[in-house]
Amino acid sequence: MDIILQQLVNGLTLGSVYGLIAIGYTMVYGIIGMINFAHGDVYMVSSYLTAIAIALLSYFGLESFPIIIFGTLIFTIVVTGAYGWVIERVAYRPLRNSSRLAVLISAIGMSLILQNYVQIAQGARQQGVPTMLTGAIRLDIGDGFVQITYMKLFILFVAFLGMGVLTYIIQKTKLGRMCRATQQDRKMASILGINTDRIISAVFVIGATMAALAGVLITLDYGAFDFYVGFIIGIKAFTAAVLGGIGSLPGAMLGGVILGLSEALFAGLISSDYKDVFSFSLLVIILIFRPSGLLGKPEVEKV
């Protein structure tokens, strides 16, 4: 029982991060109906930016965890958001009226560019950051125990806070209303005076900032990363988006949590060697039996 509870804690933490990254996939698809396959590499870039920010702050003698985490979040979110804006302007906007195959190839090309750019600039070796927050809470349960580190508690708090803030922005603010209008009917939204090009760029920036938030949290927790780290976690976040219903913001969050819990339970009770196989098999099963996802709506062809 204690193994199951421990894996549930680990899965909830991992799932919250999947949910943050899945938001980028689902928002872009909801607005323009295309998959941003460079999104996982945006997360990868944010891992390197996290290490750079920590190194800069430490160089200037700032060693307090609150100051380091706040400065790292601001720096990483701003720079990663700029990456998201550039990706939209370079890889998507010129091809917006082209075939989906052209956009897919462009997105894959942007992914390869980011991977090779980071590999050349930072090197192919695995890199890491020092442990910033230590300690854990231990709960005794019968003959066993469940342990949750302070870092995992911090990840859960920040991840769900970020999801809550984004939900408020989309549901209650003018920007959110314009995003929802653009998602429902881009042409009509443009007729009503909404600058849809600016909204689409804003959605890419928002998705990139969510990936940046996930990148900071995971990098601080795991401590290690490389130029290829975005591929696997990007596919898993895409699986979470499809599971929840791609195009649905609550679905991305729900899908991330479900995938994280399922993967952690599979790794703890069956085999950790095949947890990635399980995640990708889950994606195939979802696409076969419920392509619209748990909270998604079947796509209706407009005529």
**What are the residue ranges spanned by the domains of the chain?**
2-289
144-149 and 224-225 beta bridge pairing: unpaired
C-alpha 240/C-alpha 280 separation (Å) is 10
Q: Which CATH number fits domain 2-289: 3.30.70, 2.60.40, 1.10.3470, 2.30.29?
A: 1.10.3470
C-alpha 268/C-alpha 3 separation (Å) is 7
Tens-level pLDDT at each residue, the chain (303 residues): 578 888 888 899 999 999 999 999 998 888 888 888 899 999 999 999 999 999 999 888 887 888 999 999 999 999 999 999 999 999 888 888 888 788 889 989 999 999 999 999 998 899 988 888 888 888 877 777 788 899 999 999 999 999 999 999 999 999 999 999 998 888 899 998 999 999 999 999 999 999 999 999 999 988 889 998 998 899 899 989 988 888 888 889 999 999 999 999 888 888 888 888 888 888 888 888 888 888 876 655 544
Helices 2-32, 150-172: crossing angle, 10 deg rounding: 30
